Amino acid sequence: MKKLALHWQILLGMVLGVVFALIFTNLDWGAKFIGDWIKPFGTIFINALKLIAIPLILAALIKGIADLKDISSLSKMGIRTILTYIVTTVLAVSIGLMVVSVVQPGKAINEDTRNELVEAYGGEAEMKRQDALKQKDAGPLQALVDLVPENIFSAASSNRNMLQVIFFAVFFGIGLILIPEEKSKTVKDFFDGFNEVILKMVDLIMLAAPYGVFALLAALVVEAPSADLFAALAMYAFCVVLGLALMIGIYILLVKIFTKRSPGFFLNGIAPAQLLAFSTSSSAATLPVTMERVTEHLGVEEEVSSFVLPIGATINMDGTSLYQAVAAVFIAQAFGMDLSFGTQLGIIATATLASIGSAAVPGAGMVMLVGVLGYAGIPEAGLALIFAVDRPLDMCRTVVNVTGDATVSMLVAKSQGKLGEPKVKDWDDNYKKVS
């Protein structure tokens, strides 16, 4: 019997996890059993992915930059990457504003429901607000200060310091380019081997992916808030999901127009990373798989993917920025506020910049949303209105974040002449390019 493809195994694990949890929630001891004996395996799986995220970035980014041979290639790729990321992010925010303005989900929330949500989630909202205030009080140039680590070993001790690790890796790679090749060869060979070892570790971890997502989804179901709260926010969730779906459609269109690759080829190649992103809600945790799929299955050469994807996992949060736009307008509608066209343009700029500063970890977008709300003069207490459905929507927007990273890597690779045939053809006879 033919073995199921990895993304189908992951999808099956997700479905079985939900069914398993729904059955066990009917038992008095079911929720505790899942929390004590099932959820830890999901946590172990996420931890294993996070474990190799920073080593993978160091190895892949240093190797990728060193292989560029000269600084001019690096600068061209960097400019194209950043500009493309900014364009897709602005597009995502604009789509979010359009959808929420047409559907107007906030108008459906009545006073009783609003009070119930604020009471239930006000404590968590206040924690996010305090986190955002700390960032706000740090000063306008604090982001630049935080970019340069004072100790690389300290920076590498936390996945939240991903930008600092990327800075060091880029700096180190530039140093390798600038010294004579006979002196850099030993270091390059080391990172080549180091990179291969990390990629093999990714393969080993992914053998457990179906079981990991089973545990993650089972735990999510038993820990979810009441169904009544989800029903009250159904229209808001619909707007976010619709906007995210439209954004994925745009990615597919961009890939088809600029790289001449079919939608099926693109989606089939990136599907395991998308499903893992959905399960973990973390672009950083998904990064090892994203890099493997883009390089091996989408045909992007490693020197491009190892540069574009780590940066994208840190600064390219299209799904997060779209969600922030929808959430801000939704909260304003729920409080009876009408936002002017100028304010909505400001939300586009603020959400774009906020998404660049979002950490590639679950829930980070909620902290950055406070800045968007503050700009538009929207009550920050409104965060409590969306806490009930934030976790499943976080899972959905992470899928878009990862898909956006893969799309930009293909566009940049095509512009650099670095997009070739995939090393692994998932489709067998169905594999093809659209000319």
Q: Phi and psi of 300, rounded to 5°?
A: -80, 130
Q: How does pLDDT run across 417-433, given as a tens digit for each residue?
A: 889 888 776 544 343 44
Q: Is residue 419 part of a domain?
A: yes
Q: Is residue 156 part of a domain?
A: yes
Mean pLDDT, the chain, whole residue set: 79
- The residue-averaged pLDDT of 306-317 equals 82
pLDDT of residue 412: 93
Task: Identify which of 318, 305, 299, 341 has the alpha carbon closest to the alpha carbon of residue 396.
Answer: 318
pLDDT of residue 254: 95
d(C-alpha 165, C-alpha 181), whole Å:
24
* pLDDT surpassing 90 at residue 246: yes
pLDDT of residue 431: 39
- The residue-averaged pLDDT of 296-310 equals 88
Q: Is residue 166 part of a domain?
A: yes
Q: How does pLDDT run across 392-412, given as a tens digit for each residue?
A: 888 898 999 999 999 999 999
Q: How does pLDDT run across 315-367, given as a tens digit for each residue?
A: 788 888 898 888 888 888 777 677 777 778 878 877 776 665 454 545 456 55
Alpha carbon distances (Å) from 56 to 30, 35, 117, 130, 201: 38, 31, 41, 33, 10
Contact 238, 366 (CB under 8 A): no
Domain that holds residue 307: 6-430
Q: Is residue 181 part of a domain?
A: yes
pLDDT of residue 339: 78
Contact 242, 99 (CB under 8 A): yes
Q: Considering only residues 301 and 314, tell me which one the structure prediction assigns the higher pLDDT.
A: 301
* pLDDT surpassing 50 at residue 55: yes
Across-strand partners of 300? 419
Altogether, the residues listed in the chain come to a count of 435
Name the token pair of 184.
Answer: 């850099």
Q: Considering only residues 272 and 65, tell me which one the structure prediction assigns the higher pLDDT.
A: 272
pLDDT of residue 429: 38
- The residue-averaged pLDDT of 268-274 equals 92
* pLDDT surpassing 60 at residue 227: no
* pLDDT surpassing 60 at residue 71: yes
Name the token pair of 142.
Answer: 């604090």
- The residue-averaged pLDDT of 171-195 equals 88
pLDDT of residue 46: 77
* pLDDT surpassing 60 at residue 121: no
Q: Is residue 1 part of a domain?
A: no
CATH number of the domain that residue 374 is part of = 1.10.3860.10
The Cβ-side half-sphere exposure at 29, using a 13 Å CA radius, reads: 3
pLDDT of residue 37: 95
Contact 59, 194 (CB under 8 A): yes
Q: Considering only residues 133 and 40, tell me which one the structure prediction assigns the higher pLDDT.
A: 40
d(C-alpha 213, C-alpha 191), whole Å:
31
- What is the total count of domains within the chain? 1
Q: Considering only residues 147 and 290, tell me which one the structure prediction assigns the higher pLDDT.
A: 290
- Kindly indicate the confidence band of residue 115, based on its pLDDT and cuts at 50, 70 and 90: low
Q: How does pLDDT run across 134-182, given as a tens digit for each residue?
A: 655 666 677 678 778 899 999 888 766 766 887 888 889 889 888 888 8
Label each residue of the chain as H, E or C: CCCCCHHHHHHHHHHHHHHHHHHHCCCCCHHHHHHHHHHHHHHHHHHHHHHHHHHHHHHHHHHHHHCCCCHHHHHHHHHHHHHHHHHHHHHHHHHHHHHHHHHCHHHHCCHHHHHHHHHHHHHHHHHHHHHHHHHHHCCCCHHHHHHCCCCHHHHCCCHHHHHHHHHHHHHHHHHHHHCCHHHHHHHHHHHHHHHHHHHHHHHHHHCCHHHHHHHHHHHHHHHCCCHHHHHHCHHHHHHHHHHHHHHHHHHHHHHHHHHCCCHHHHHHHHHHHHHHHHHHCCHHHHHHHHHHHHHHHCCECHHHHHHHHHHHHHHCCHHHHHHHHHHHHHHHHHCCCCCCHHHHHHHHHHHHHHHHHCCCCCCHHHHHHHHHHHHHCCCHHHHHHHHHHHHHHHHHHHHHHHHHHHHHHHHHHHHHCCECCCCCCCCHHHCCCCC
Q: Is residue 435 part of a domain?
A: no
pLDDT of residue 434: 38
Q: Is residue 54 part of a domain?
A: yes
Dihedral of CA atoms 294, 297, 301, 302 in degrees, nearest 10, equals 60
